[in-house]
Amino acid sequence: MAVPKMKVSRARGRKRRTHYKLTLPAIVACPKCKEMKLAHHVCKLCGTYNGVQVLPLDEDKKA
Ligand SMILES: [Zn+2]
Protein backbone atom coordinates (compact mmCIF):
# COMPACT_ATOMS: atom_id res chain seq x y z
CA MET A 1 0.00 0.00 0.00
CA ALA A 2 1.25 3.44 -0.87
CA VAL A 3 2.64 5.45 2.03
CA PRO A 4 3.71 9.10 1.66
CA LYS A 5 7.49 9.37 1.30
CA MET A 6 7.81 11.77 4.24
CA LYS A 7 5.98 9.29 6.51
CA VAL A 8 8.68 6.62 6.01
CA SER A 9 11.94 7.20 7.88
CA ARG A 10 15.26 7.08 6.02
CA ALA A 11 16.27 3.94 7.91
CA ARG A 12 13.00 2.15 7.20
CA GLY A 13 13.11 3.01 3.52
CA ARG A 14 16.77 1.99 3.16
CA LYS A 15 16.28 -1.28 5.04
CA ARG A 16 13.70 -2.31 2.43
CA ARG A 17 16.26 -1.90 -0.37
CA THR A 18 19.21 -3.89 0.96
CA HIS A 19 18.81 -6.72 -1.57
CA TYR A 20 18.82 -4.57 -4.71
CA LYS A 21 22.57 -4.84 -5.07
CA LEU A 22 24.49 -6.02 -8.10
CA THR A 23 26.76 -9.01 -7.63
CA LEU A 24 30.01 -9.50 -9.50
CA PRO A 25 30.17 -12.48 -11.86
CA ALA A 26 32.25 -15.37 -10.51
CA ILE A 27 35.50 -14.99 -12.45
CA VAL A 28 38.41 -17.36 -11.87
CA ALA A 29 41.76 -17.96 -13.57
CA CYS A 30 41.89 -20.86 -16.04
CA PRO A 31 44.09 -23.60 -14.56
CA LYS A 32 45.70 -24.26 -17.96
CA CYS A 33 46.29 -20.89 -19.61
CA LYS A 34 45.71 -18.60 -16.56
CA GLU A 35 43.25 -16.51 -18.54
CA MET A 36 40.39 -15.08 -16.48
CA LYS A 37 37.17 -16.95 -17.26
CA LEU A 38 33.71 -17.46 -15.82
CA ALA A 39 33.57 -20.16 -13.16
CA HIS A 40 31.92 -23.44 -14.26
CA HIS A 41 32.33 -22.44 -17.91
CA VAL A 42 34.57 -23.71 -20.69
CA CYS A 43 37.64 -21.51 -21.15
CA LYS A 44 37.19 -19.60 -24.40
CA LEU A 45 40.93 -19.24 -24.97
CA CYS A 46 42.16 -22.83 -24.66
CA GLY A 47 38.82 -24.68 -24.84
CA THR A 48 39.33 -26.78 -21.71
CA TYR A 49 36.95 -27.55 -18.88
CA ASN A 50 38.12 -29.23 -15.68
CA GLY A 51 41.40 -30.15 -17.37
CA VAL A 52 39.68 -31.82 -20.36
CA GLN A 53 39.99 -30.47 -23.92
CA VAL A 54 36.35 -30.07 -25.00
CA LEU A 55 36.69 -27.58 -27.86
CA PRO A 56 39.10 -27.78 -30.83
CA LEU A 57 41.90 -25.25 -30.59
CA ASP A 58 41.64 -22.34 -33.05
CA GLU A 59 44.78 -21.79 -35.11
CA ASP A 60 44.78 -18.02 -34.61
CA LYS A 61 44.30 -18.30 -30.86
CA LYS A 62 47.16 -20.75 -30.23
CA ALA A 63 49.83 -19.18 -28.08
ZN1 LIG B 1 42.22 -21.59 -20.62
CA of 42 to the centre of ligand 1 (A): 8
CA of 51 to the centre of ligand 1 (A): 9
pLDDT for residue 2 is more than 70: yes
**pLDDT tens-digit series, residues 10-43:** 999 999 988 888 888 899 999 999 999 999 999 9
pLDDT for residue 57 is more than 90: no
pLDDT for residue 59 is more than 70: no
Amino acid at 52: V
C-alpha pair distances (Å), 49 with each of 5, 12, 16, 31, 39: 51, 46, 40, 9, 10
CA of 33 to the centre of ligand 1 (A): 4
How much is the pLDDT for 1?
79
CA of 25 to the centre of ligand 1 (A): 17
CA of 59 to the centre of ligand 1 (A): 15
Pick the closest to residue 47 from 59, 12, 11 (CA basis). Answer: 59
4 vs 60: which has the higher pLDDT: 4
Rounded Cα gap, residues 55 and 58, in angstroms? 9
How much is the pLDDT for 39?
94
Helix (H) or strand (E) holding 13: helix 10-15
